[in-house]
Structure 1
């Protein structure tokens, strides 16, 4: 049986949940990945609220496997500034005092684990933020001590969160991504070491964020096979020739044609999805394949529909027996 294909609702946060569910079903999706804070308020503790969400999903015959807390999670370890005010709800931003924002974001991430339990699922995907992303390019020289303190800060802030997740039987899946404490294979290993390979910590695998950096996104699955808790299917295009705006993206906006790379609808970029499916099969991943659709140059309804069909076409299960077994007598 093929893996379920779900739609991440974060990019549809301008629409009510029921409208998104109706559209997702019409596009052919098997389920949704609920994005915070637009489609789920994890501060709610009343069972009726969660029963109503499940009833809405049932109405459209949609499954739920994961909720996503990216925007608020970003504020847990980031150096807080005015950029965060634009993406955080007022109840997290508060008066903007950085430590207060950190604390409220961490509390919300724990609330997300409780919400997952109320919804009957065991995975929360999201971001961590990073106090050392600003030092990506090491000039003026960045010392090992400065980098190590960044990972220590991540551990101090996240281990208490992960301990609560473990108590609840819920897993946190970091989307390895620029601006996070883990953004490539090397930094991912350092993040795991910083938290002593905490069992509640794994990854929301998204190949697009690795591909344009020049990171081997198929090998990433092989390196962390037992830590792939959730999968985002997203495509990206990068140029074969030099462009005006390089791999860092400059101060341009997504979709600018002068950029070296831009996200594309699934099947229209350069990610080798068949190799990803084969690696996920080898890793034994049986969870959903969640479409996180981000193509600045395409109507999102057209893109969501074609992306759902693309994932269902490219996915396949591993063989139950060796092809040459029939040769044996």
Structure 2
């Protein structure tokens, strides 16, 4: 095994951290990537209270688990989204519900505290989302001008540069999970997002192939495009289910419904070519964790989590330290 295998706890936030740590250690995971919701990590506490940080770390230590990154997707989503309906009310404290500006103000502080938390925990990466002020303009009707899109990236930079200033102060990097509904959802928008913040080193990517695969973007091309910006890696699979009747936009059907044009799958049960991804990660010298983000509406999650750990360990390998034909030169 070349890299540590971790589990992202976002889809497990209903389980107390102690119970989850014990379970994942039993499955063979090397560590956890803690979500900043549930009881897994409170960034408002951890940014100021070292005893709280030690307490959360002690839970992982008890079961021999390591901590490489934290993730604050929910707060990050509120920073740039319009926040003008109730879908995201549950992402922020109850007193922010229905108030777009209040949700945004809370979220910006939460993301700054995520950097402070990472520093207090001795980490150098925070994963998450940014939201997007222009995702609702994806299909250009009613007509969308170039200026509207330019303004969207400018707005993102205005919100995120002050957040990234705190990341710089803390010596921590932010890794955006490139994903539909974010300011960057494919290769071209990822390039625009980097340019919008002046290509500053504090901003990079949490590479997750599943979100690219169903858009029919080659995940390996993404790694090749951004070799110095892959700050963290999620391992997640997806399957295209296009049969001439289903559509890539999923027809307003929720995950797990059979008529969707695509869906997430447990590792090894979709269409992502993970061997080629490992080879590409070897080329760029990525040595960080491979973090399972488990999502599959058609499979028991405990079964899937254990199987996924074994899958990642089996698919991962170190690059060669010697040319295969070097022995031919031996005298």
Q: What TM-score, normalized to structure 1?
A: 0.97
CA offset at residue 32 of structure 1?
A: 0.2
Match of 2:229 among 222, 227, 230: 227
CA offset at residue 291 of structure 1?
A: 0.3
Match of 2:119 among 117, 125, 134: 117
What corresponds to 2:285 in structure 1? 284
The equivalences for 1:39-58 within 5 A come to 39-44=40-45, 45-58=48-61
State the Cα RMSD in Å. 1.2
Secondary structure class of the residue paired with 1:174:
strand
In 2, distance between residues paired with 1:155 and 1:313? 40
What corresponds to 1:199 in structure 2? 201
Match of 2:92 among 58, 66, 89: 89
CA offset at residue 37 of structure 1?
A: 1.4
CA offset at residue 95 of structure 1?
A: 5.0
In 2, distance between residues paired with 1:310 and 1:83? 38
What corresponds to 2:4 in structure 1? 4
The equivalences for 1:1-329 within 5 A come to 2-38=2-38, 39-44=40-45, 45-90=48-93, 94=96, 96-239=98-241, 241-244=243-246, 246-329=247-330
CA offset at residue 83 of structure 1?
A: 3.5
Unaligned runs of 5+ in 1: none
CA offset at residue 325 of structure 1?
A: 1.4
Contact residue 90 and residue 97 of structure 2 kept, 8 A: no
CA gap 1:251/1:240 in 2 versus in 1, 3 angstroms: closer
CA offset at residue 85 of structure 1?
A: 3.9
Contact residue 234 and residue 292 of structure 1 kept, 8 A: yes
1:282-319, Cα deviation, whole Å (9 max, x unpaired): 01000000000000011000000000000000000100
In 2, distance between residues paired with 1:161 and 1:85? 21
In 2, distance between residues paired with 1:202 and 1:100? 27
In 2, distance between residues paired with 1:296 and 1:40? 25
In 1, distance between residues paired with 2:11 and 2:37? 12
In 2, distance between residues paired with 1:134 and 1:240? 24
Contact residue 242 and residue 260 of structure 1 kept, 8 A: no
Unaligned runs of 5+ in 2: none
Contact residue 89 and residue 97 of structure 2 kept, 8 A: no
1:142-171, Cα deviation, whole Å (9 max, x unpaired): 111000000000000000111110111000
Equivalent residue pairs, number = 327
